Amino acid sequence: MDVLSDMITTINLIIVGVSLFSYFAFTSPEPCPRKYRVLQEDGGILTNYGQIHQYCELDYGHKWKLKKERNE
C-alpha cells in the first residue's frame, strides 16, 4: 500500500508541475513590436521616446511588453 501512496503523490506533483509550466508558458505577455519602440525617422510611430508608455510597459525582466489596452 505504501508504494501506491508514493505513486499517487508523484503523479500529483507531476500534474501540478505541468499545470504551472503551462500557465506561465502560454499566458506570457506579447513582446512590444519594434514600431512602438522606435522613432518615426527609424520606421516607428513615436515622435519622442516618452510615448512608448502609451503602447508598452516594462516587465520584471526589464523587457518591453505590449499593453493589453492602449490609451489612445
pLDDT in tens, 13-54: 999 999 988 887 777 778 899 999 999 999 999 999 999 999
Q: List the beta bridge partners of residue 57.
A: 65
Query: Confidence band (pLDDT; 50, 70, 90) for 62?
Result: confident
* Sequence spans of domains, the chain: 1-28, 31-72
pLDDT over 90 at 61, yes or no: no
Q: Grid coordinates representing 7?
A: 505513486
Greater confidence (26 vs 62) lies with 62
pLDDT confidence bin for 70, thresholds 50/70/90: low
Q: Provide the residue type at 7 as one letter.
A: M
Q: Which pLDDT belongs to residue 26?
A: 77
